[in-house]
Structure 1
Amino acid sequence: MALHPKIIDLTLERVERLLARLGHPERDLPPAIHVAGTNGKGSTLAMIRAGLESAGRSCHVYTSPHLARFHERIRVAGRLISEPELLALLEECERVNAGAPITFFEITTCAAFLAFARSPADYALIEVGLGGRLDATNVIARPALTAITPISFDHQQYLGETLAQIAAEKAGILKPGVPCVLAPQPDQARAVVEERAARLGAPLLIGGQDWDSREEAGRLVYQDADGLLDLPLPALAGAHQIVNAGAAVAALRALGMDEAACAGAMTGARWPARMQRLDPADLPGAPPEAEIWLDGGHNPAAGQALAALLARMHARRSAALHLVCGMLDTKDPEGFLRHFAPLAPMVHAVSIPDAPATLPAERTAAAARAVGLRAEAAGDLGSALAAAARAGDPAPRVVICGSLYLAGAVLRTMPPLD
């Protein structure tokens, strides 16, 4: 396949051209929920999906990136697309594209929309790949609903150096007259989204104003103009998931779902590599009694959320904390790692296998030391886990973190995801 030479090149021209040649499948989708944001997109979308499916609705789902296997990106009416089906769709898109420049993500998006247009479902849940305004998914003229999760700094080389610039790109998914669920935002980001919504006549459902979610007595309390819901806590771990859960419930309420669907969103959501508990027996070198977690967060805001969760866990059970950290060279390792300083973990830095853009382990270790952490470079994941095992605590807490690409490398060694 002759692809556009740039891996990321934000424009809609190529994807719009191919979709037109394919007969505009994006116009034949079921009602779409389009989700953008810096952190929490996937978790929020997973909860929306769980809520809809608990209410008996079928969902197409398009997410990125994949973790272990490429076909995880596409679910057709709830089932993972088969590899033969995916291959046939990509070959069809390649044939119709006829050698014109196109990026990997663009042709994958066209294949997903083609699959969705050819199979019945009640909803299509679409996660933005990068940004929003010029993302390949932003070709649906009138979705049923949009949502923007918390906005923070990431991908500045593509989206801009200020929160206002980044927010403007995320707000590009808003459509005239289409409601948007907006998670609580920094003032600078919120102002940009509000201004665009006003210009388009897009009703906003704003977290902290039109709806609110909080943890109270081991439950999720959600409140909006229609009343108060007392729900189970989300199955996805972390205080930051309370905000994501609130956005998911606000979305479900906007779609007309009842309290039972909202409860299903909390209990039924599954989202790998978001504080996912792993079995040490599946990881060579891991201490047998270790408590091992996998998290794909990779920017400063994600580091802050993960550190806050670990602080709460530490308050319940003290254990030696080890971070096995690998990051891409486009990220901010010091910004990610500095939040862990109060927890005094030992950082075992690794390079990410088969990732050309990996930050070398030595540089990740140096970044950790620069923010006051003890750190060493390890040859690979197994060596890092073995180092944690040698540290003296027979039951350490080990968190593998820093990149979805590292998470994917871990998950590829384990049984396939459902």
Structure 2
Amino acid sequence: MDRTYAEAINILESRRRSVRPETSHATNLLSESLPKLEAGSPRLKGVPSIDGMAEWLQQIGHSASELSKLNIIHVAGTKGKGSTCSFTESILRAHGRRTGYPRKTGLYTSPHLIVPEERIRINSKPLNGTLFAKYFFELYDCLPQLQAPLDPSRPVLQRGPRYLQLFALLAFHVFLREQVDVAIVETHAGGEYDATNVIRKPVVTAITTLGLDHAAMLGSTLDSIAWHKAGIFKAGATALTVTQDDMAASALRKRAAEKGVDLRVVERDDRLPQNATQLCPSVQRTNGSLAVAAAEAWLSRNAPSQGLTADDVRKGVEQWTWPGRFQVVRHGLNTWFLDSAHNEMSVRIAAQWYAEAASAASKQSSKTARVLVFAHINELRDSTALLASLAQALRDTEASIRHAIFTTYPEVSGGEGCSGDETLALFEPVWRQYHPEGEVTFHSTVRQALEAAKRQGDQYDEVHTLITGSQHLVGPALKMLQEEG
């Protein structure tokens, strides 16, 4: 076998499920531990992602208890997980630059925006291709299941890890081999049955803002979702969250009590720099405040004599970047506003951010066209409901979108991706409920959609385009914009 980066990615991609199971194969133990809720109870489909993780860790040479060496900060939530994790890493890295500890940070997030190795970072830098391949094939040699095609019908341990499970295993392996002083780990979707919840002894656990998402897996009520997310709480670990909806807050407090932990609600932190663009829109202050609390709690356990200073916080925020989240790219007549929001809570925030940021960027004497580029094709979410939330939020902010462009995920003609033609056909009537005027067009590739947005500059002095709905749209779009300089 050619043990290259490309081959490692090919094997990883081969571990994706082609379709999601329609029925549950959860073990009796897991089924019995599900919350007994009157409505909206979780409907587990297939085998919970945590099944097999401890055994596969053993196969690659690591025990679940060995993960405690990583001094983990474990983060779950609906909105802002990635930002909170990366803010935490950046603040601790700034502290380490001043004091010498932590000298090396590990960060695991998902999904990636442009390239897969973005998911696993050392001192904020994604693994280079050589290291990625090296560590991946160390796992491959220990997991003979990877040498056969993925067969979801086989018993868990025989079929081997799926895509996200394999990525989590790889992250743990990399962090242990690289001897990081701290690992900040984002859950994939839930918490209780998430593959990352093989972590038994985190130092800090944190729950970001909760909302309705992944209802097919986590249930259709906030208390059910909170029950799942709070599954990362562990006795002996600091437990943090932000101000939540009353139902979610009650469920979090109940689970914290069941697990024997004291849950602290984090308020806005005054040490965050007041005028930092990294903290716009305001939801980023919530994420940043939780990150400061997580970093401070981690230091109090691992370096109690080296407290977090306001300067650490400031420098951590100022050096922070997270492509594809509330990002503005300017090029000629075009200003692109990119946010990879992909649930109803997130797209409403993206709409408000766009309205404010685009208004601030407009030149008083210019005729400005406002354009939307949207794509979302996902069997776990209602794409039309997502678009409806976005359309209503944009209408309520009076963003005056002139041209709505709907597209699918392939970057260029003939590229890989899902066609989504049936979904696209449903978008126009949903959009026109809230925006009856203006143009609506459909394009089969991301490049065609961007070119259509640019053509608005033929009639206007400047074009402000919001690109949102999915990482699978924002990632390729950002890549193309970067290639154009």
Tell me which of 254, 260, 264 is aligned to 1:205: 264
Query: Match of 1:217?
Result: none
Query: Match of 2:295?
Result: 252
Query: Match of 2:479?
Result: 412
CA distance in 2, matches of 1:230, 1:188: 32
Deviation at 1:315, TM superposition (A): 4.7
Distance verdict in 2 for CA 1:5–1:381, change over 3 Å? closer
Query: 1:194-228: per-residue Cα shift (whole Å, max 9, x none)?
Result: 11111212222203xxx334xxxxxxx35xxxxxx
Please state if 1:401 is matched with 2:468: yes
Q: TM-score, normalised by structure 2?
A: 0.75
- Opposite residue 131 of structure 2, the aligned amino acid is E
Q: Structure 1: which 5+ runs fail to align?
A: 214-220, 223-228, 281-287
CA distance in 2, matches of 1:179, 1:375: 51
CA distance in 1, matches of 2:409, 2:474: 9
Contact 2:242 2:265 in 1 (8 A): yes
- Opposite residue 235 of structure 1, the aligned amino acid is Q
Query: Match of 2:48?
Result: 10
Deviation at 1:140, TM superposition (A): 1.2
Please state if 1:112 is matched with 2:171: yes
- Opposite residue 59 of structure 1, the aligned amino acid is T
Tell me which of 324, 327, 335 is aligned to 1:276: 327
Deviation at 1:278, TM superposition (A): 2.0
Contact 1:232 1:263 in 2 (8 A): no
- Higher deviation after alignment, 108-117 or 73-82: 73-82
Runs (4+) of structure 1 exceeding 6 A deviation are none
Deviation at 1:323, TM superposition (A): 1.0
Query: Match of 1:31?
Result: 71
Contact 1:35 1:146 in 2 (8 A): yes
Larger C-alpha radius of gyration, 1 or 2?
Answer: 2
Query: Match of 1:335?
Result: 389
Q: TM-score, normalised by structure 1?
A: 0.87
- Opposite residue 372 of structure 2, the aligned amino acid is L
Q: Structure 2: which 5+ runs fail to align?
A: 1-10, 21-46, 97-101, 146-157, 300-307, 363-367, 411-415
Contact 1:22 1:96 in 2 (8 A): yes
Matches within 5 A, 1:2-401: 3=15, 5=17, 9-24=47-62, 26=64, 27-28=66-67, 29-56=69-96, 57=102, 58-99=104-145, 100-101=158-159, 102-207=161-266, 211-213=267-269, 221=270, 232-233=275-276, 235-256=278-299, 257-280=308-331, 288-318=332-362, 319-329=368-378, 330=381, 331=383, 332-342=386-396, 343-345=399-401, 346-353=403-410, 354-356=416-418, 358=420, 360-372=423-435, 374-379=438-443, 380-391=445-456, 392-401=459-468
Deviation at 1:160, TM superposition (A): 0.8
CA distance in 1, matches of 2:239, 2:338: 31
Deviation at 1:311, TM superposition (A): 2.9
Deviation at 1:66, TM superposition (A): 0.8
Distance verdict in 2 for CA 1:398–1:78, change over 3 Å? closer
The DSSP-based 3-state class of the residue aligned with 1:254 is helix
CA distance in 2, matches of 1:237, 1:35: 21
- Opposite residue 369 of structure 1, the aligned amino acid is R
- Opposite residue 203 of structure 2, the aligned amino acid is A
CA distance in 1, matches of 2:353, 2:314: 23
Deviation at 1:70, TM superposition (A): 0.8
Query: 1:270-300: per-residue Cα shift (whole Å, max 9, x none)?
Result: 11101212243xxxxxxx3121121100111
Aligned residues: 393
CA distance in 1, matches of 2:439, 2:405: 6
Contact 2:190 2:228 in 1 (8 A): yes
Contact 1:232 1:266 in 2 (8 A): no
Distance verdict in 2 for CA 1:91–1:239, change over 3 Å? same
Deviation at 1:313, TM superposition (A): 2.8
CA distance in 1, matches of 2:51, 2:211: 27
CA distance in 1, matches of 2:451, 2:395: 23
Deviation at 1:314, TM superposition (A): 4.8
Greater helix proportion: 2
The DSSP-based 3-state class of the residue aligned with 1:138 is helix
The alignment's C-alpha RMSD in Å is 2.4
The DSSP-based 3-state class of the residue aligned with 1:115 is helix
Deviation at 1:408, TM superposition (A): 1.6
Deviation at 1:252, TM superposition (A): 2.2
Contact 2:71 2:202 in 1 (8 A): yes
CA distance in 1, matches of 2:245, 2:195: 26
